[in-house]
């Protein structure tokens, strides 16, 4: 599965696996670097997904004083 195919939850779970593997310290250097690079890509993906979700829950309203931003409250 490529990073773009992960849901936020799947990406976060994979990132946690990578962290555990790297913290273990028993991996060869090449594998550690590979996992580190995958982890960086997953962090970027999670950040993008969170930013997108944040934008979806904002409401812009227009008033006499201009456009104001409000948080969505369900």
Determine the 3-state secondary structure of 64 from DSSP. Answer: coil
pTM of the complete model: 0.72
User: What is the structure's pLDDT at 45?
Assistant: 96
Determine the 3-state secondary structure of 9 from DSSP. Answer: helix
Which residues, in sequence order, are bridge partners of residue 60?
A: 69
Condensed to tens digits (0 to 9), the pLDDT of residues 22-33 reads: 999 999 999 999
The parent domain of residue 54 ranges over 3-71
In CATH, what number is assigned to the domain containing residue 49?
1.10.287
Report the domain count for the chain.
Answer: 1
CB 58 within 8 A of CB 68: no
Condensed to tens digits (0 to 9), the pLDDT of residues 32-67 reads: 999 999 999 999 999 999 988 887 777 666 666 666
The secondary structure of 13-31, three-state, reads HHHHHHHHHHHHCCCCHHH
Longest dimension (CA), the chain: 63
């Amino acid at each position: 599965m490529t990073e773009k195919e992960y849901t936020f939850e799947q990406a976060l779970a994979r990132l946690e696996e990578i962290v555990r593997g790297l913290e273990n310290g028993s991996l060869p250097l090449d594998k550690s670097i590979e996992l580190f690079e995958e982890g960086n890509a997953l962090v970027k993906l999670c950040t993008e997904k969170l930013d997108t979700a944040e934008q979806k829950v904002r409401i812009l309203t227009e008033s006499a004083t201009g456009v104001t931003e409000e948080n969505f409250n369900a």
